[in-house]
């Protein structure tokens, strides 16, 4: 894969293995609009030629976190129309991720908040370091998960535990 991204690192590890790294460590790999565009482009390219790769490993740059979720600093400066456009972009990106026929392994560390947790839930397999903590933070400010977290969480942890996590905004991991 020869595409250069601003917010992603894509590394060919040989034998059809790709390493996809969210690369905004200065913001704890928070997903801004640019990262959303680049992730959509990445998943679209993989989905268009799935036989080129056997597996993708998803992680985040730095030692403290895989992804802090959505970039709230960017969102605070957005108009309602800009936020709606970003939300639609993230929805398209998540659908492209979920539709990926190539197995995706999440390699998670540190805090994995909100949208980062939701992306983790889209992975086929997840390996978490001892420091990994997963939180769907959306419930605490009273907003709805927008990246299939409410659908994927019960599949990962069971219906009753998913309800507990969703209504409490609590940490698991």
Which residue range is the domain that position 106 belongs to? 8-172
- Tens of pLDDT along the chain (173 residues) come to 778 999 999 999 999 999 999 999 999 999 999 999 999 999 999 999 999 999 999 999 998 889 988 898 998 889 999 999 999 999 999 999 999 999 999 999 998 888 898 899 999 999 999 988 888 776 665 565 666 666 777 677 777 777 776 766 666 55
Residue 3 lies in a domain: no
DSSP assignment letter at 31: B
> Domains in the chain: how many in total?
1
Which residue shows structure tokens 């959505």? 70
Residue 78 lies in a domain: yes
Residue 44 lies in a domain: yes
Residue 55 lies in a domain: yes
Residue 150 lies in a domain: yes
CATH number of the domain at 74, please.
3.90.226.10
CA 99/CA 44 separation, integer angstroms:
10
Residue 96 lies in a domain: yes
- CA-based R_g, the chain, Å: 15
Residue 110 lies in a domain: yes
The backbone region for 79, taken as left when phi is positive above 0, alpha when psi lies in -120 to 50, beta otherwise, is beta
Residue 114 lies in a domain: yes
Which residue shows structure tokens 């709230």? 72
């Amino acid at each position: 894969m020869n595409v250069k991204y601003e917010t992603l690192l894509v590394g060919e590890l040989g034998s059809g293995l790709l390493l996809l790294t969210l690369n905004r460590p200065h913001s704890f790999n928070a997903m801004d609009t640019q990262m959303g565009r680049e992730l959509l482009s990445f998943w679209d390219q993989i989905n268009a030629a799935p036989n080129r790769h056997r597996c993708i490993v998803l992680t985040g740059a730095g030692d403290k976190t895989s992804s802090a979720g959505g970039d709230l600093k960017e969102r605070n400066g957005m108009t309602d129309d800009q936020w709606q456009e970003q939300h639609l972009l993230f929805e398209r990106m998540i659908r492209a991720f979920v539709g990926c026929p190539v197995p995706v392994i999440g390699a998670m560390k540190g805090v994995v908040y909100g949208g980062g947790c939701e992306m983790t839930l889209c992975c086929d397999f997840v390996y978490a370091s001892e420091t990994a903590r997963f939180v769907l933070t959306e419930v605490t400010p009273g907003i709805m998960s927008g990246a299939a977290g409410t659908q994927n969480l019960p599949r990962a942890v069971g219906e009753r535990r998913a309800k507990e996590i969703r209504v409490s905004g609590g940490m698991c991991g």
